[in-house]
Structure 1
Amino acid sequence: MLSKTSVRFAILFMWSFFFPSWFYVSKGVLEDYLDLLNHADLVQVSIITLWLPVGFFGVLLYLLFLTPKAFVRGEKIKEIYRSQTIKIWDKIVTIFALCGIAFAVAWTYHSIDLLEKYGYVYSRDLTRITPTGIHLMYVKAR
C-alpha cells in the first residue's frame, strides 16, 4: 500500500500534467483552424492531434470528479470507489476516446474541404513529423 503522501503527489502530478497538456494542444488545434478561417498564408492540419480535444476530455472528467476525494483521503481511487463506479467511468472515458476519433475524422474532412475552397495547396517540403503526429502544411495559392 502506498503512503498517503505518495498518492497525493501522484494526483498532483496528474493534475499538473494532464490539464495543461490538454489545454495547450486544444489551443493549438483551435489556432490552426482560426488560421484557416482567417485565410493565413500558411495553414497546418494535424490529423492525429485533432483527436485530443474531444478524445481526452473523458480523462479530464475522470480526474476532475474522482481524484479530489482520493487526494483528500490520500487513498487510491480503487480503494475509495466501488468497482461499478470505476466501470462506468471506464465506459465514459472510452466513449469520449471514440468520439475523439470521429471528431478527428470529421474535422479533417471539413478542414480539407475548406482548404480546397479557399485555394490552398499541400506543401510536402513544409510538412513536419513530430511526436504528436504528422503536421500537414498547406500554402495559399496565389
Structure 2
Amino acid sequence: MQSIKVNRIAVFFSGLFINAIVWGIWCWLVFITYETFRNISTHFDLVEINVVGLWVPVGIVGAGLFTLASPLVALITGRRSDEVWGRTGLMIANYIAAFFAIAGIVVAIFFYHLMTKKLEEKGYVYCRSLTTFSAMGRYEVYVAKPELCVKPNKIP
C-alpha cells in the first residue's frame, strides 16, 4: 500500500469535528441516563427507563477512545493512523473497543436490575400500555400511582 501524505491541519479539524460529534452524542446520552436515576431518586410520578440506553455510558467509550487517538497519531506523524499502528495495533484497538462494548452490556444489566429493584421498593408499578419501542430500544415506563397508567387517546 502506498503511503499517503496527510495535511496536518485538515487532520486536526476533521478529528476535532468527529470528536465533537462522538463525544457530544455520548454526553447527551449519558445525561439522559442520569435523568432516569434522578427521576427515581426524586420520586417522579412517571419514570421511563431506556433499556438499550443503559449500555451507552460504558459501551461507546472504546470507540470514542479510538476517535481520540487516531487523529492525534495522524497529526503527529503526518501519516494515516492504520499505517503507524500496523496490523497488531488495529487488533489491539478492536479488542479495546470490544472490551468496552461487553463491559457496557454488563453495566447495563447491573443498573437495569438495580433501578427496577429501587422502583419496586418505592412502590412503582410497571405500565405495559405506556411502554414503547423505538430505534434506541425499549422504553419501559413505571408509574407511582396505578391510575397514571392510561394510554392517551389518539387524535382522530
TM-score, with normalisation over the residues of structure 2? 0.79
Shift in Å, 1:59: 1.2
Aligned to 1:109: 113
Contact 1:4 1:73 in 2 (8 A): no
Partner Cα separation in structure 2 for residue 33 and residue 124 of structure 1: 20
Q: Mean alpha-carbon deviation: is it higher for 74-83 or for 116-125?
A: 74-83
Partner Cα separation in structure 2 for residue 14 and residue 127 of structure 1: 34
1:120 and 2:127 equivalent? no
Please give the root-mean-square deviation of Cα atoms over the aligned residues, in Å: 2.3
TM-score, with normalisation over the residues of structure 1? 0.86
- Please list, as runs of the form range in 1=range in 2, the aligned pairs for 1:9-88 lying within 5 A after superposition: 10-71=14-75, 75-88=79-92
The structure whose Rg is larger is: 2
**What secondary structure does 1:137 align onto?**
strand
**What secondary structure does 2:43 align onto?**
coil
Partner Cα separation in structure 2 for residue 136 and residue 71 of structure 1: 44
1:99 and 2:111 equivalent? no
Partner Cα separation in structure 2 for residue 11 and residue 131 of structure 1: 27
**What secondary structure does 1:43 align onto?**
strand
Aligned to 2:152: none
Return the letter of the residue paired with 1:11. Answer: G
Report % sequence identity: 28
Partner Cα separation in structure 2 for residue 112 and residue 87 of structure 1: 38
Q: 1:74–1:44: structure 2 CA closer, same or farther, 3 Å change rule?
A: farther
Contact 1:55 1:99 in 2 (8 A): yes
Aligned to 2:153: none
Partner Cα separation in structure 2 for residue 123 and residue 20 of structure 1: 32
Contact 2:6 2:74 in 1 (8 A): no
Shift in Å, 1:107: 0.8
Shift in Å, 1:3: 7.5
Partner Cα separation in structure 1 for residue 55 and residue 125 of structure 2: 23
Return the letter of the residue paired with 1:34. Answer: R
Partner Cα separation in structure 2 for residue 102 and residue 65 of structure 1: 25
Return the letter of the residue paired with 2:96. Answer: I
How many residues are aligned here? 142
Contact 2:15 2:68 in 1 (8 A): no
